[in-house]
Amino acid sequence: MQHPKFNEDWFNPNADLPYAVEPGEVRAAIKEFYDFYGDLNQFLLREGHGRIETVLRANNALSDFIGNVATEELAQASDTLIINQKQDGFPDILPVDNEQYAEQDYEVHHGEEGIETKCSKSNGGWQAHNNEEAWFIVFRYERGDPEDDVDEMDPIRLVQVLAGSLNEDDWSHSGRNDDSRRTITSSIISSGMYKLRSNPVYEDPAAITGRGEELVEYKQRHAQFDPTFADEHPEYVTEQTTQGEN
């Protein structure tokens, strides 16, 4: 079974993060997730149960698993964060130095400070239940072909970890009429996508998406921290990239 590997070239040490969180703590969380994922799959295969990807067949179940583990690992990697102790509370991760949260034993139904996390295979259109104003971290992943043999299947890989401070105007809200049973959702719109894509913490250059000048901007920014990409795509190397390498 293949084990996912952290690619140092894809790591952005200058990403902007709140609450004194360091990009290196995100790096540690990704590595810990990969170790947990690899150990879990080795156990499942040894016991004849397949892989976590084949056990959790629904995409939303797999996304929940990846997001929950990555979120826990990030909170454990940082001295300034703690998991929200309330199930389905908002946001997912809380700053430990918030006195009001501490008085509630970090069991917060809906707080104004903290980091909400999302996990998805999609390259955009990430959703929530409301137009939320908070810092968000999005874990975007790829998985192997479910039709492949379980021993040969490509592993889950995190291809983007994006961070951004979103406000209510960065969402579109979809309500429902009285007769509908559809879940009420809000989706991140272009302004929110721009904020997130402009601040990658970890990014496979093949996963960069966008249009026109924004896509060029994302690739120029990526070239500032990925030397391999910069060498292979000199058209995206700017003066800022050169200065950052010195």
The token duo for 106 is 């970090």
Q: Which pLDDT score, from 0 to 100, does residue 129 have?
A: 72
Backbone angles phi and psi of 172, in degrees to 5: -115, 135
Q: Which pLDDT score, from 0 to 100, does residue 175 have?
A: 54
- CA triple 56-58-63, angle to 5 deg: 75
Q: Which pLDDT score, from 0 to 100, does residue 34 have?
A: 98
8 A C-beta contact, residue 148 and residue 50: no
Per-10-residue mean pLDDT, the chain, length 246:
93 98 98 97 93 86 95 97 96 97 97 95 82 92 90 93 95 61 74 96 97 97 98 92 53
Q: Which pLDDT score, from 0 to 100, does residue 165 have?
A: 97
- Tabulate helix, strand, coil % of the chain (nearest 5): 40, 20, 40
What is the C-alpha to C-alpha distance for residues 77 and 112, in angstroms, rounded to an integer? 22
The token duo for 45 is 């295969």
Q: Which amino acid is at 104?
A: Q
C-alpha separations of 18 from 37, 97, 104, 113, 114 in Å: 27, 13, 22, 10, 8
What is the C-alpha to C-alpha distance for residues 19 and 214, in angstroms, rounded to an integer? 28
- CA triple 237-205-92, angle to 5 deg: 120
C-alpha separations of 172 from 77, 128, 185, 189, 236 in Å: 33, 10, 9, 6, 32
Q: How many CA atoms lie within 13 A of 209 on its CB side?
A: 12
Q: Is the peptide bond between 95 and the residue preceding it cis, with omega within 30 degrees of 0? A: no
Q: Which pLDDT score, from 0 to 100, does residue 128 have?
A: 75
* 8-206 under CATH 3.40.50, yes or no: no
- CA triple 222-226-230, angle to 5 deg: 85
The residue extents of the domains of the chain are 8-206
What is the C-alpha to C-alpha distance for residues 137 and 36, in angstroms, rounded to an integer? 20
Alpha helices in 85-211 (DSSP H): 99-103, 190-197
Q: Which pLDDT score, from 0 to 100, does residue 130 have?
A: 75
- CA triple 35-125-10, angle to 5 deg: 40
At which residue do the structure tokens 């999005």 appear? 138
The kind and range of the H/E element at 160 are strand 157-166
Length of the chain: 246
Q: Which pLDDT score, from 0 to 100, does residue 63 have?
A: 94
